[in-house]
Amino acid sequence: MPLIAVTCMYDDKERRSFLKDGYIQALERVGAVAAVLPPSLSPQASAQALSRMDGLLLSGGTDVAPLRYGQQPRPNLGPVDPLRDEQEFALVRKAIELGLPILGICRGMQVINAVLGGDLIQHIDGNIQHQQQAPGWHRHHSVRIEPGTILARALGRSELGVNSFHHQAVGTVAPGLKVSARSPDGIIEAVESSEPWILAVQWHPELMWQRHEEFLAIFRAFVGACRGEENG
């Protein structure tokens, strides 16, 4: 049974870590066990723990500190979590060194892009609303999926209605990553790489799969890669 390192949120005021159930239950549903690594664990210990695991899942959360991708903070930047940035940057580097598959969700996709040398749009201000005011499982906008990608093979479709809870997006795509989905306004909604195995989505499948089972395919593809199955 694959053991998956999962990152989580951190509340600096209360000094406690937390994570939504949907990630843990989705992994269990597709045959894996989540081992949650709180940001209070040092980057060194986090990276060490990863050497006993089979994959890395970067969950959603706050904004990445802009200096980490070569920008100054703009006025409309949201909250940042330096402790978590430090931990997750170390984890992504270690996962790549160990050859472990990585699944990035929302902030997770932004972290992966920043670690690999891309940058972010600090605040989206376009024609499509990307911060829905609706239940988490609601399909808010559509995305077009690039044919022939890991994501297209996992989902078996070229268009998908997704939820949307982000005010930032991937800007310049990091070398080694390719875009696998965009929303109609051109915002990058998924990126991936087959070597190392990386899949990252801007939406939140962990809030969707309970009502829309096709979103489990993302977790299934990831856990398959963690088992060493050919699906990339």
Catalytic positions are: 106, 204, 206
Give the DSSP letter string of 33-80. Answer: EEEEE-TTS-HHHHHHHHTT-SEEEE---SBPPGGGGT-PPPTT---B
Between residues 135 and 175, which has the closer beta carbon with respect to Mn ion? 135
Q: How far is the CB of 183 from Mn ion (least distance, A)?
A: 5
**Applying CB under 5 A, which residues contact Mn ion?**
130, 164
C-alpha to C-alpha distance for 39 and 7, rounded to whole angstroms: 7
Between residues 204 and 220, which has the closer beta carbon with respect to Mn ion? 204
Q: How far is the CB of 43 from Mn ion (least distance, A)?
A: 29
Q: How far is the CB of 129 from Mn ion (least distance, A)?
A: 9
Between residues 84 and 130, which has the closer beta carbon with respect to Mn ion? 130
- Going by the DSSP 8-state scheme, the letter that residue 149 receives in this structure is S
C-alpha to C-alpha distance for 62 and 137, rounded to whole angstroms: 20
Between residues 88 and 189, which has the closer beta carbon with respect to Mn ion? 189
Helix pair angle (216-226, 21-29), 10° resolution: 60
Q: How many CB atoms lie within 10 A of CB 161?
A: 13
Peptide bond into 147 cis (omega under 30): no
Q: How far is the CB of 28 from Mn ion (least distance, A)?
A: 27
Count of residues for the chain?
232
C-alpha to C-alpha distance for 112 and 157, rounded to whole angstroms: 25
Residue of closest CB approach to Mn ion: 164
Q: How far is CA 114 from CA 56, 88, 142, 186, in A?
A: 16, 11, 25, 19
Between residues 26 and 181, which has the closer beta carbon with respect to Mn ion? 181
C-alpha to C-alpha distance for 12 and 90, rounded to whole angstroms: 20
Q: How far is the CB of 164 from Mn ion (least distance, A)?
A: 3
